Amino acid sequence: MSQKLNPVVWNKIVFDSGFWKSRQETNRTVTLPAEYNQLKVTGRIESLKLQWKPGMPHKPHHYWDSDAAKWIEASAYSLGNTPDAKLEAMVDEVIELIAASQQSDGYLNTYYSSVEPGKRWTNVHVMHELYCAGHLLEAAVAYFEAVGKRRLLDVMIRYADHIDSVFGPEPGKIRGYPGHEELELALVKLYRATNEKRFLNLAEYFVNERGKQPYFFEKETLARGDDPAKNAHREVLNRDYLAEGAYALYQSHVPVREQKTAVGHAVRAMYLYTGMTDIGIEAGDESLVEACKTLWQNVTRRRMSVTGGIGPLEGCERFTFDYDLPNETAYNETCASIGLIFWAHRMLQADLNGDYGDVIEQTLYNGVLSGVSLTGDTFFYANHLEVEPGLYTNRVNRNVRMLPRRQSWFEVSCCPPNLARLVASLGGYLYTTSDAGVQVHLYAQSKGVFSIKEVETTIRQETNYPWDGSVRIVVSPAAPTAFDFTFRIPSWSKQASIKVNGSAVSVSVVKGYATINRVWTANDTVEIDFRMLPYLVEAHPSVRFDCGKAALMRGPVVYCLEETDNGKNLWDVVLAADSKFASSYEPSLLGGVVSLTSEAKSRDLSEWTDALYRPVGSGYRKREIKAIPYYTWSNRDPGEMLVWMRLGL
């Protein structure tokens, strides 16, 4: 690795006004209380008391601990940003329930401690014990770092030590690894928080053991007396539908360094790759980072929607094959896009390449933010890129995750608290530092105070990003200091202009980053204008769903048409490739967005009295269209929605 970059942690950055201030405020005042309420009413909090007995309502599910954990983690970041005694008391109460549920040997899992006592570690393949452990660990680290309380951290260190005593290559231990990856990256966080190398070692073991033959999941299934070809508990997950071979759904078909394409369950894949990159960085294992670079190319060049959505298939929430990026049936789980941001953030630390930052903002402002309503209390699990509402009322299996309206909660409700923790911790994605100086990855109105070359420095960003491509950055080290000020030039910005203290400077761009090296003194100012203009993008010709179509973008924001602005039959809207779009900031529209308008054409319905098919005609009429940011769709009247619009004529 050429250069080790250290992320500036979230609590060094304050969004003091602007876009993210408002999103964090909604997250804190609406989303977190709403999610707590759902944890309550669905029995997830109560389940931590381990009082459930057969016949009682709210039988604990094997993934419930992770929902509470992610809510704690999100609350932790929020408390770090904005102290809130009431929220802190709620968190402490939940933490006490968790602490009290810990078994005498350190084991901690609601499901196995109350529903199937005695069966722990018998179905690591499917039952999410290690996944829940990972989320609880992340929560423990975050809460300790946010408010300084060790209670959950100590509990989780005991549990991590217990896991370490159960899993490993040594005789008498289970030679296994998680069915749903997550613990790997969490152990790295624990290692960083405690500096205890054994946690990093355990993470390395899990990653290196994965995919070896004979397969652990198969051995484990046989040990239970079950048939590996049929897992009665979750049959669908156990079947092997993947061309890549057995257990590809879990990224355990071959050892991780031999994996060249992103396969299987998309969230699992993202958490694995994130952990692999973390371990590669911390353990100095170049081979893991190289494996991730190969996988990165596959994900972002072959298997990612323009919104940063990944995992196109509802069935098993997974990757399929190159260029298979459906719009109407896109699954694009919110959690998978969040995981993609986690991973990109780690890749950035291993390899300063604008590609990672580009994908972070492309995913953040589109496929992630679409996951939560503007009011903060309803959520998308799947993020379609086009919607004909009739499709959903006519589905046979009405999976609520696929509905084209955001929901208050889901039976499997991983996405809502995942969103909350990303929004609350977003400050941590803006900067890294290195021996050379500071690197700016994301642009957002904010104030950061952190050390650059051991000198405390305030970096203030003044911008209306993502609605305006002008960013004024005031750099104020406590004392004059020479360092590299390195900042990302987004790939969508074709003519960025840069000034330092009012004077235009010319900088060369290396792998998507520009660098200004000088002695920085208080109130030095870097002004960047990325020239944020609307533009149309096309997809690779192999993406069959997008041939002859274009997506409209402005900066990192993907736009869409919604029926409420444009009427029905959005698929019949045709744009010229050189269409001009007018940008207009509308403060009262959808929480304040830039909308885009243009002239387009549609066929004249008056010519279609009663025919279903007719010889090709030319009956097009001019019409206006109005596009809104994709992430804001479905906040008004229900109806059609379309991202990829027809080009032509």
* Catalytic positions, written as ranges: 317, 414
* Shortest reach from residue 123's CB to a second copy, in Å: 21
Candidate residues 45, 551, 560, 625; the one interacting with a second copy per rule CB under 8 A: 551
φ, ψ (nearest 5 deg) of residue 557: -90, 125
- Scanning residues 578 to 607, which ones bind a second copy (CB under 8 A)? 602-603, 605
- 197: Cα within 13 Å, side-chain hemisphere: 1
Residue among 223 and 605 whose Cβ is closer to a second copy: 605
Candidate residues 170, 615, 622, 637; the one interacting with a second copy per rule CB under 8 A: 615
Candidate residues 119, 223, 241, 287; the one interacting with a second copy per rule CB under 8 A: 241
Q: At what angle do helices 286-302 and 334-350 cross, to 10 degrees?
A: 130
Beta bridge partners of 13: 448
- Of 179-187, 285-293, 500-508, 531-539: span binding a second copy (CB under 8 A): 531-539
Q: Which two tokens stand for residue 411?
A: 């039976």
243 binds a second copy (CB under 8 A): yes
Euclidean distance between CA atoms 14 and 80, whole angstroms: 10
281 binds a second copy (CB under 8 A): no
Please state the three-class secondary structure of 490-508 as a single string. Answer: CCCCCCCEEEECCEEECCC
Candidate residues 262, 550, 625, 643; the one interacting with a second copy per rule CB under 8 A: 550
Candidate residues 315, 495, 502, 504; the one interacting with a second copy per rule CB under 8 A: 315
- 120: Cα within 13 Å, side-chain hemisphere: 20
Candidate residues 40, 197, 540, 585; the one interacting with a second copy per rule CB under 8 A: 540
* Shortest reach from residue 542's CB to a second copy, in Å: 6
Candidate residues 96, 535, 592, 623; the one interacting with a second copy per rule CB under 8 A: 535
The count of chain residues that interact with a second copy, using the rule CB under 8 A, is 66
313 binds a second copy (CB under 8 A): yes
233 binds a second copy (CB under 8 A): no
Cis peptide leading into residue 214 (ω within 30°)? yes
Euclidean distance between CA atoms 238 and 224, whole angstroms: 15
Residue of 577, 571, 572, 619 whose CA lies nearest to 598: 577
Amino acid letter, residue 121: W
Task: Determine how many CB atoms are found less than 10 A away from the CB of residue 184.
Answer: 26
58 binds a second copy (CB under 8 A): no
- Scanning residues 382 to 401, which ones bind a second copy (CB under 8 A)? 388, 390-391, 393-398
568 binds a second copy (CB under 8 A): yes
Residue among 165 and 542 whose Cβ is closer to a second copy: 542
Residue with tokens 């993470």: 203
- Scanning residues 108 to 137, which ones bind a second copy (CB under 8 A)? none
- Of 126-134, 191-199, 233-241, 400-408: span binding a second copy (CB under 8 A): 233-241
Determine whether 258 is exposed, middle or buried from the number of CB atoms within 10 Å of its CB (0-12, 13-18, 19+): exposed
Residue among 83 and 619 whose Cβ is closer to a second copy: 619
Torsion angle in degrees (nearest 10) through CA of 245, 251, 253, 255: 150
Q: At what angle do helices 266-282 and 286-302 cross, to 10 degrees?
A: 150
171 binds a second copy (CB under 8 A): no
Candidate residues 49, 301, 405, 511; the one interacting with a second copy per rule CB under 8 A: 301
* Shortest reach from residue 631's CB to a second copy, in Å: 17
Q: Which two tokens stand for residue 32?
A: 């977190």
Euclidean distance between CA atoms 454 and 477, whole angstroms: 10
* Shortest reach from residue 347's CB to a second copy, in Å: 17
Q: Which two tokens stand for residue 557?
A: 């924001």
495 binds a second copy (CB under 8 A): no
Count Cβ neighbours within 10 Å for each residue of 451-468 and write b for 16 or more, e otherwise: ebbeeebebbbbbbbbbb
* Shortest reach from residue 69's CB to a second copy, in Å: 29
608 binds a second copy (CB under 8 A): yes
- Of 13-21, 34-42, 236-244, 271-279: span binding a second copy (CB under 8 A): 236-244
Asked if 176 contacts 209 with a C-beta cutoff of 8 angstroms, the reply is: yes
Euclidean distance between CA atoms 429 and 9, whole angstroms: 8
Residues in touch with a second copy (CB under 8 A): 236, 239, 241-243, 297, 300-302, 304, 306, 313-316, 320-321, 324, 388, 390-391, 393-398, 535-545, 547-548, 550-551, 568-572, 574, 577, 602-603, 605, 608, 610-618, 646-649
